[in-house]
């Protein structure tokens, strides 16, 4: 007889599958230039969930490959922005994570030449992430909300490096990721929040960073099978259930999977998914598409056949 939790996960997976469009080539890149690339290219993740190594995936990632070549300006000077021209520090690791996950999913179906080009280019992007995470100065103890952008960048960089460590079998990257996410979990308040707010902090900005941290921590916890981080994720979902309004913090579906993972916070996940349907009647794009792809990937980890 099917386990009730697995049946719930299957239902949410179906809901998200219905939201994820297959025509990701409809992505446009109006704000890209010589020194800028759009985070929307991470939508290659959504293409890969269908196991397709076709021109949709290749087309989305091709510029990322080109930018990693030795005759191009260093990747560290490249701005990662969205189609509106906005920059957020977490966009670079989010973009690389989406591409890494696509590479993991398409490992056996990519044409040989494309496989080699992606592999070489991804190493260059991940070397940059390693250098950036190693150089980040984390606050000792509690993390003030004013450092929210830095810490969310670090958490997403850690998640990307964890995925990279699995792809390239590089323990140094998985160890670095584990250390960073462990710091985040240790800084968590008993109430579940990761950041310490003051009276001058904007609530919507604070909630946005909390949701972005929760998303990264939840994805890491399930993929790394880390029970300590999973417990921190559960506490954070309860915090959001009590204290925040995700649709006021962002129009993007951050933290859907962790909210589904905790049975008591699934109504909040329903609220987030409903907002996606209302705000994107023709299907989500860009960052929203990457986040939904990640939620679907994490749910499928629970639905795969057990040995």
Q: Over the stretch 173-196, which tens digit does the pLDDT of each residue have?
A: 999 999 999 999 999 999 999 999
Query: What pLDDT is stored for residue 307 in this prediction?
Result: 45
Q: How far is CA 57 from CA 91, 195, 283, 302, in A?
A: 19, 36, 18, 25
Domain ranges of the chain: 4-303
Q: Over the stretch 137-164, which tens digit does the pLDDT of each residue have?
A: 877 788 999 999 999 999 999 999 999 9
CATH 1.50.10 is held by the domain 4-303: yes
Q: At what angle do helices 203-224 and 171-187 cross, to 10 degrees?
A: 130
Per DSSP bridges, beta strands 195-196 and 79-81 are unpaired
Tokens linked to 32: 């890209």
Nearest Cα residue to 268 out of 283, 281, 278, 253: 253
Distance CA 209, CA 203 (A): 10
Q: Where residue 1 falls among pLDDT bands split at 50, 70, 90?
A: very low
Nearest Cα residue to 286 out of 29, 43, 21: 43
Share of the chain above pLDDT 90, in %: 69
Query: What pLDDT is stored for residue 26 in this prediction?
Result: 61
Rg of the chain's alpha carbons, rounded to an integer? Answer: 18
How many helices (H) does the chain have, and how many strands (E)?
A: 13, 4
DSSP string, 20-33: S-S-GGG---TT-B
Q: Over the stretch 6-38, which tens digit does the pLDDT of each residue have?
A: 889 999 999 999 988 755 556 789 899 889 999
Query: What mean pLDDT is predicted for residues 215-242?
Result: 97
């Amino acid at each position: 007889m099917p386990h009730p939790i697995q049946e719930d996960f299957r239902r949410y997976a179906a809901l998200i599958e219905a939201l994820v469009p297959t025509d990701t080539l409809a992505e446009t890149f109006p704000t890209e230039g010589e020194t800028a690339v759009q985070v929307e290219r991470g939508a290659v993740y959504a293409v890969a969930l269908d196991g397709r190594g076709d021109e949709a995936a290749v087309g989305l990632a091709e510029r990322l490959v080109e930018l990693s070549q030795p005759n191009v300006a260093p990747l560290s000077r490249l701005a990662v922005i969205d189609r509106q021209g906005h920059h957020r520090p977490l966009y670079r690791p989010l973009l690389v994570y989406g591409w890494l996950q696509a590479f993991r999913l398409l490992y056996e179906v990519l044409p040989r030449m494309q496989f080699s080009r992606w592999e070489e280019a991804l190493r260059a992007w991940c070397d940059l992430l390693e250098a950036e995470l190693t150089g980040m100065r984390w606050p000792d103890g509690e993390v003030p909300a004013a450092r929210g952008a830095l810490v969310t960048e670090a958490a997403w960089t850690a998640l990307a490096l964890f995925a990279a460590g699995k792809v390239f079998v590089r323990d140094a990257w998985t160890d670095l990721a584990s250390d960073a996410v462990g710091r985040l979990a240790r800084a968590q308040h008993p109430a579940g929040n990761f950041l310490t707010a003051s009276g001058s902090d904007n609530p919507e900005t604070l909630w946005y960073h909390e949701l972005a941290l929760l998303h990264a921590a939840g994805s890491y916890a399930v993929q790394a099978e880390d029970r300590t981080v999973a417990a921190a994720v559960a506490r954070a979902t309860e915090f959001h259930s009590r204290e925040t309004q995700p649709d006021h913090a962002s129009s993007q579906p951050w933290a859907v999977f962790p909210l589904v993972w905790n049975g008591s916070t699934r109504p909040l996940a329903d609220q987030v998914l409903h907002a996606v349907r209302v705000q994107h009647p023709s299907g989500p794009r860009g960052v929203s598409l990457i986040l939904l792809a990640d939620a679907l990937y994490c749910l499928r980890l629970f639905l795969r056949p057990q040995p």
